[in-house]
Amino acid sequence: MHIIRCVATSETKLQITLKDPRSDFTFDLCQKGLNLGAVTVEHFWISQPTLVADTLAGSVYRSIIDRFWLMCVNDGEAEKKSNLEGYILMHVLPWMRPHSHGKVLAGGKLLLSAVDRAAKQVQADLGDSPRSISKLEFRDATYAILAGDSTELDDNEKALREKILGEIFGVLQLRGKGVSIIPAAVAVVEKYMKACRGARKDVRRVMDVLTYEAQTEFHRAYSAVWSHLIASLHAESAATRDFLSIWHTNQSEPSADPAHDFHLFHGKVFALHPCGSIFMKSSKCRKLLGDFLSAPEVAREEHSGYLRWALATVVRAYADIHGNRPKRRETISSAVVERKAKTGLPSISKKSARSSSEERPDEIFNEFAKKNMIICCDQVMRHVGHDLKSKNSMVATFGCKCGKSKTISISVHDLFAK
């Protein structure tokens, strides 16, 4: 275990390696003491920006998928249908609907100011006398917000969902034939994503649902990997171990039929949802969590009811804030308009532009690589550099983690094409 302490933020950076005869995986964790009222625990977490599923190249996102898959192999479940399909869905998630969270899973990011507003609302709603709710009451009270209308497809949409999934999972037939299955699956997703930009509302609806399902698969992998990370941390405090389990793993109870397992947070992990940020901002929520962690075993059930009530209050506050977020301004900075005009693109009106912020070159080229399947080692290659050839074209170089690079000519129009 490699440890680096940061005095300025009182955080500790450490590396944990999960060893395996087939392959070792090293994860960078952050650590900080967390006061929960009745008890203080050690909070370990993975930096959120490294978990963003916008690329697979050299990311923690990819490492979690690969470690999860290794766990499936070791458990003899690599050929299990649900694991194979989940593996593919996790890989194609970066190419799916980026803004579908609000339609299927209220999981979009919140600005810090929005988190503060929601936390203040939670403080007021909790009051001074805690209530206790059961697991079923919590699940039912939060279902519409956390799981949304993900299962409410009409018959035609259900048929379309099966058709799209059939094409995505159809790539499994290419295994052992010298064909990389992930790029083939991505190509299927890209085809339907293009249809989303047209008048096909049914395709958009179904792709929203599939994005939700792919997100849930990643949460399953994240939860499984964290179960191993928690064991590797060897935390001395039982409260710390319990807290990490609550925060980083899927809270579920098995049943005779795995399809009907009870999932408290609807297959999601608290640490990966904005509700977690709101919860930690509320002193009353932290206290109720501390009371639960410090309670003797005989009183745990009573305190867990109070904790579920606090979480349900957080979810409702999140829904209020998330549902009232201002829409993106349909403007663009004059600098972007001028630059694109100078490079030979047709003039862009401010009304038709998509963003109010200045794009960065890396983001533009990486998006181009993703859309045009510039892939090596089953990963999208990353922008390394570029040179202008003329007013309307350039040469761009993309690199892979393996060390290989690819240089291609790109027209300015193709680079900025939507």
Between residues 405 and 323, the one the model is more confident about: 405
- Whole-number pLDDT of residue 417: 65
Beta-sheet pairing, 379-380 with 382-390: unpaired
136 pLDDT more than 70: yes
167 pLDDT more than 90: yes
Of 34, 60, 58, whose CA–CA distance to 47 is shortest? 60
Least confident of 96-100, 265-269, 357-361: 357-361
Determine how many CB atoms are found less than 10 A away from the CB of residue 152. 12
What DSSP state is assigned to residue 271?
A: G
Least confident of 64-78, 89-103, 253-267, 345-359: 345-359
Between residues 333 and 253, the one the model is more confident about: 253
Mean pLDDT of the chain: 78
Residues facing residue 22 across a β-bridge: none
Least confident of 42-46, 210-214, 355-359, 393-397: 355-359
- Whole-number pLDDT of residue 87: 93
Between residues 179 and 307, the one the model is more confident about: 307
Query: Directed axis angle between helix 112-126 and helix 283-294, to 10°?
Result: 60
pLDDT digits (tens, 9 = 90+) for 384-418: 777 776 667 778 888 877 667 788 888 777 777 65
Q: What is the DSSP string of 71-122?
A: HHHHTT-TT-HHHHHHHHHHHHGGGS-TT-HHHH-------HHHHHHHHHHH
- Whole-number pLDDT of residue 188: 92
Beta-sheet pairing, 393-399 with 405-411: antiparallel
Q: How far apart are the first and last CA of the chain?
A: 45
pTM (global) more than 0.75? no
Between residues 173 and 52, the one the model is more confident about: 173
C-alpha span between 121 and 115 (Å, rounded): 10
215 pLDDT more than 70: yes
Q: Which residues lie below 8 Å from residue 4, measured CB to CB, with a gap of 6+?
A: 12, 13, 14
- In the chain, domain spans: 2-323, 327-359, 365-418
- Residue 162: pLDDT band by 50, 70, 90 thresholds? very high
- Whole-number pLDDT of residue 281: 92
| 128 SS3 class | coil
Q: Are 108 and 102 in contact (CB under 8 A)?
A: yes
pLDDT digits (tens, 9 = 90+) for 257-314: 555 556 677 778 888 888 888 999 999 999 999 999 999 988 888 899 999 999 999 9
